[in-house]
Amino acid sequence: MTIKKFINTVFMTEILKGMALTFRSMLTPAITRQYPKVKRSAAAGFRGEHAFVRDPETGREKCIGCGLCGAVCPSQCIHIYTSEDPETHKKIVDRYEIELLRCVYCAFCVEACPVGAISLTENYEYADYSREALYMTKEKLLANWDKFMAGKKGEEYFKKFWHPQANDFAAYAGQAVFNHKPKVEGK
């Protein structure tokens, strides 16, 4: 035991072992990305910049101006201004604004919206030099939908990720059940 300890001390075996490991990992492929050149695609359902869902039937936003998103927002960054249509007596959403600089990206607004009118896109590159660019208006939000979520992606988004499913047992038909058998450890 003491001879072994002596050899370890003199030849610095533990340090050599560590250096062998670092040398080995020099030969493995690099895992770092050169970010601005090589971009990383966010996973489906990523909580990035907001978008307003454009209704394919009317071509306008789906929002009914109920104000639930503003009520549930933990950072209170959603501002909604509505008025009443004098003829049909329906609520009109005049202004719908989100302060991106205050938003915490919890996506409770998406969860709260009863009509599925707001979503978060997979866009994470929206840094800017001015505050105005990060103050989202209704038009900007609708443009975001066209840019990032239009088509099938937007439809799947609500089915897959934004669906509080308390009573909905039918949704569990295709549920993931793991059926790997536990591996027997060799001796």
User: Residue type at 119?
Assistant: S
Question: Which structure tokens are listed for 56?
Answer: 């394919």
Identify the residue among 4, 89, 180, 187 touching other proteins (CB under 8 A). 180
Q: Does 7 bind other proteins (CB under 8 A)?
A: no
- Please report, for residues 24, 54, 145, 155, 169, the alpha-carbon distance to residue 151 in angstroms, rounded to integers and kept in the order given: 47, 10, 10, 7, 27
Identify the residue among 177, 184, 185, 186 touching other proteins (CB under 8 A). 177
Q: Does 153 bind other proteins (CB under 8 A)?
A: no
Query: Around Cβ 88, how many Cβ atoms within 10 Å?
Result: 8
- Which region among 45-53, 82-90, 91-99, 148-156 touches other proteins (by CB under 8 A)? 45-53
Please tell me the distance from the alpha carbon of residue 129 to that of residue 134, in angstroms, as a whole number. Answer: 9
Task: Give the footprint of other proteins on this chain (CB under 8 A).
Answer: 8-9, 12, 14-15, 17-18, 21-22, 25, 31, 42-47, 66, 68, 71-75, 104-108, 111-112, 114, 116, 120, 160-169, 172, 175-178, 180, 182-183
